[in-house]
């Protein structure tokens, strides 16, 4: 990419069909908002990529999310919802002096990839285009704006479904809503838009006509995977996009040497890295950012909630939940256990039913439990944080541990066993 690059992301829509008080772009896939997936795909084009997000419905919540998670993002408010063209126009004052290329994308398309965006920008620059429309093809393109090209293969018009003739409806190439603009040449289009349509709105697609009328070069770049433009407008759309995303990533993992026993029942966030020869068993759900090393066994029925590291040759058993946990190599976390806010060494065995009690519901504080190398924790134990269990210590089964344990020590905390002879027999007789 030769020219400086910026992005404008449309995130002002309410998402009426979501039936939610939450702004549409803040609904989540694998614990990340839709807007976050789009921003991250764009940001990977350049490590200091600058974006402008158009906010509207739920503006405070969207702005708060962006301020907490993104350094090079500005926001601008679309006070009235007057169409996609009007939304982009709100960013014009912030790019008044800018003379590079601008990507325009929607904040509700979480499947969009950096690879496709890079292809769009490269095509735009290599062909000296002033406006490049990202297109894709569908066997059944119903509902999408069709792309009309001339003999030079230039884009001359985008025709919406409701305005399309029968012959135009046969066209399979459609508008994705993603564009790359030579900003210096195209920015005036947003000041000269007209809303002479039934809805009284300013349409972003009108920039094609404006560019053609002003003798600018308008081209189309075709995205190979039409799933990338899938937009979220309902809870059903959200579920479909989640399925697409996990299928795409699971395929990539398997191609790189990870065994997924049952891809249909397994969900893995694309932000999780997994080493080769690791096996993921059925009904495992992994969300957020995690690192799972080589030769591990995960599941079945495991839930990994984010910010977790699992070392080489470790095993996370069935019905185990991990959250904010760093686990070193050759460690076993056995079934029915919860490990949260923990640092666990290598060659550790955590018995079945062990609970890391990390949260104080009164103070709302979370504390860390540390298990050093070679620790063994007996089944059905509770480890109450903050806690430091030193190397080679042994925790007896069914213990509630509230104090640090020294190295090589046995720690136990349970009532002594009692036996009452013939108690059952006496009860039955009486």
This prediction's pTM: 0.93
Is residue 344 situated within a structural domain?
A: yes
Q: Report the CATH number that the domain containing residue 29 is assigned in CATH.
A: 3.90.550.10
Residues 147 and 31 in one domain: yes
Query: What's the pLDDT score for residue 200?
Result: 83
Residues 213 and 260 in one domain: no
Q: Report the CATH number that the domain containing residue 244 is assigned in CATH.
A: 2.160.10.10
Residues 272 and 319 in one domain: yes
Structural domain span for residue 174 = 5-229
Is residue 367 flagged as an active site residue? no
Question: pLDDT tier at 414 (50, 70, 90 boundaries)?
Answer: confident
pLDDT at 276 over 70: yes
From 350, 410, 404, select the one nearest 381 (Cα to Cα): 350
Question: pLDDT tier at 47 (50, 70, 90 boundaries)?
Answer: confident
Last residue of a domain, one of 175, 200, 229: 229
Query: What's the pLDDT score for residue 290?
Result: 98
Number of domains in the chain: 2
Q: Share the mean pLDDT of the chain.
A: 96
> Each residue of 93-113: pLDDT tens digit?
999 999 999 999 999 999 999
Give the C-alpha separation, 155 to 134, whole Å: 11
pLDDT at 1 over 70: no
Share of the chain above pLDDT 70, in %: 100
> Each residue of 2-28: pLDDT tens digit?
789 999 999 999 899 999 999 999 999
Catalytic residue chosen out of the listed positions 46, 335, 367, 391: 335
> Each residue of 301-323: pLDDT tens digit?
999 999 999 999 999 999 999 99
Is residue 348 situated within a structural domain?
A: yes
Is residue 260 situated within a structural domain?
A: yes
pLDDT at 198 over 80: no
């Amino acid at each position: 990419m030769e020219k400086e690059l910026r992005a404008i992301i449309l995130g002002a829509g309410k998402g009426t069909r979501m039936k939610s008080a939450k702004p549409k772009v803040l609904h989540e896939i694998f614990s990340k908002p839709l807007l976050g997936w789009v921003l991250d795909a764009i940001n990977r084009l350049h490590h200091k990529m600058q974006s402008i997000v158009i906010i509207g419905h739920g503006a405070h919540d969207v702005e708060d999310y962006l301020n907490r998670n993104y350094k090079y993002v500005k926001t601008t408010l679309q006070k009235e919802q007057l169409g996609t063209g009007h939304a982009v126009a709100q960013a014009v004052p912030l790019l008044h002096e800018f003379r590079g290329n601008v990507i325009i994308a929607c904040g509700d398309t979480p499947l969009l990839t950096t690879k496709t965006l890079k292809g769009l920008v490269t095509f735009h620059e290599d062909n000296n285009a002033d406006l490049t429309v990202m297109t894709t093809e569908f066997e059944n393109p119903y509902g999408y704006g069709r792309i009309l090209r001339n003999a030079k293969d230039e884009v001359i018009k985008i025709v919406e479904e409701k305005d399309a003739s029968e012959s135009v409806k046969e066209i399979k190439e459609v508008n994705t809503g993603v564009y790359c603009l030579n900003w210096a040449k195209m920015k005036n289009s947003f000041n000269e838009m007209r809303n002479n349509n039934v809805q009284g709105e300013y349409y972003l697609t009108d920039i094609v006509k404006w560019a053609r009328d002003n003798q600018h070069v308008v081209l189309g770049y075709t995205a190979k995977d039409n799933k990338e433009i899938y937009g979220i407008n309902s809870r059903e759309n959200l579920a479909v996009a989640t399925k697409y995303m996990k299928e795409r990533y699971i395929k990539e993992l398997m191609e790189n040497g990870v065994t997924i026993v049952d891809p249909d029942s397994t969900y893995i966030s694309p932000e999780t890295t997994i080493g080769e020869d690791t096996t993921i068993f059925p009904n495992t759900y992994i969300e957020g950012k995690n690192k799972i090393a080589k030769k591990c066994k995960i599941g079945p029925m495991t839930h990994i909630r984010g910010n977790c590291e699992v070392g080489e040759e470790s095993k996370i058993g069935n019905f185990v939940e991990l959250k904010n946990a760093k686990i070193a190599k050759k460690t076993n976390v056995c079934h029915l256990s919860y490990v949260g806010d923990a640092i666990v060494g290598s060659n550790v065995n955590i018995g079945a039913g062990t609970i890391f009690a990390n949260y104080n519901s009164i103070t709302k504080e979370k504390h860390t439990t540390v298990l050093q190398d070679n620790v063994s924790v007996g089944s059905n134990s509770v480890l109450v944080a903050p806690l430091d269990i030193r190397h080679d210590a042994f925790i007896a089964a069914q213990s509630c541990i509230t104090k640090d344990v020294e190295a090589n020590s046995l720690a136990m905390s349970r009532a002594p066993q009692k036996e009452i002879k013939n108690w059952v027999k006496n009860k039955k007789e009486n």
